[in-house]
Amino acid sequence: MFSKVFLWIMSFFTTDQPDPQPNPNPTPDKMDNDSLKLTKNFHIKEFERSVLAAANDINNTAPDHVVSRLKVLCEEVLQPAHDLIGDIVGHDSYYIRITSGYRSEKLNGLVGGSSTSFHRYGAADCELYIKRAENNTLLYEIIKARGVFTELIWEYVEDGALDHPEDMPKWVHVAYDSSQPDRQELKYIH
């Protein structure tokens, strides 16, 4: 059990996975998940990738209805945030890394996730890297300012002082469901 937990924890800190490369070919609306691009900067494989799933031989391929929701999340929340950040810092000096996207029922159970977690139906935990340094506060504030989210969570402030300007979330959790007009914003310390 220790090794599974260790792999899961390490999946949040490893950056040796290659950055997704843009696909030069246009993507039809319906393709298999291996080649499905959700928007110009986000690919379905980023949302399905899981070290813990791989270590436990869990199929974490998102079903079509979840892919549709992830596409909307990317179109309405992540891609606009990505583009705004590019306008601020320069388009060649950053990327947004999806650290936890879709979770199959089995994977969600293994991590102790809630059965109603947005991860089951199309959410993303993400990190922003600007010139190889994290700046999740900028990502959080841009998503918050745009106001297009259902759930926005600032997760894990290392020293516990939420209002200290040098603190930043370890990652940003964002979910979007257009059928749920109420927005929920939280600062959560693990």
Residue-level pLDDT at 41: 94
Contacts with 68 (C-beta within 8 Å, 6 or more apart), sequence order:
122
Q: What is the pLDDT of residue 189?
A: 54
What is the C-alpha to C-alpha distance for residues 34 and 40, in angstroms, rounded to an integer?
Answer: 15
Taking the model in full, what pTM does it have?
0.75
- Find tokens 């109420």 and name the residue: 182
Alpha carbon of residue 172 to chain centroid: 8
What pLDDT was estimated at residue 106? 96
Containing 186, the helix (H) or strand (E) segment is: strand 184-188
User: Is there a contact between 108 and 71 (Cβ–Cβ < 8 Å)?
Assistant: no
Check: CATH 3.30.1380.10 for 2-14+34-188?
yes
| Structure confidence at residue 16 (pLDDT) | 41
Q: Two tokens at 30?
A: 């319906």
Task: List the alpha helices (DSSP H) in the chain.
Answer: 2-11, 44-48, 51-55, 64-73, 79-89, 105-111, 136-146
Mean pLDDT by 10 residues, the chain (190 residues): 43 42 41 78 95 96 94 95 91 88 95 91 84 82 92 73 58 87 68
Three-state DSSP state, 175: strand
| pLDDT score for 19 | 45
How deeply is 178 buried, as exposed, middle or buried, from its count of CB atoms within 10 A (0-12, 13-18, 19+)? exposed
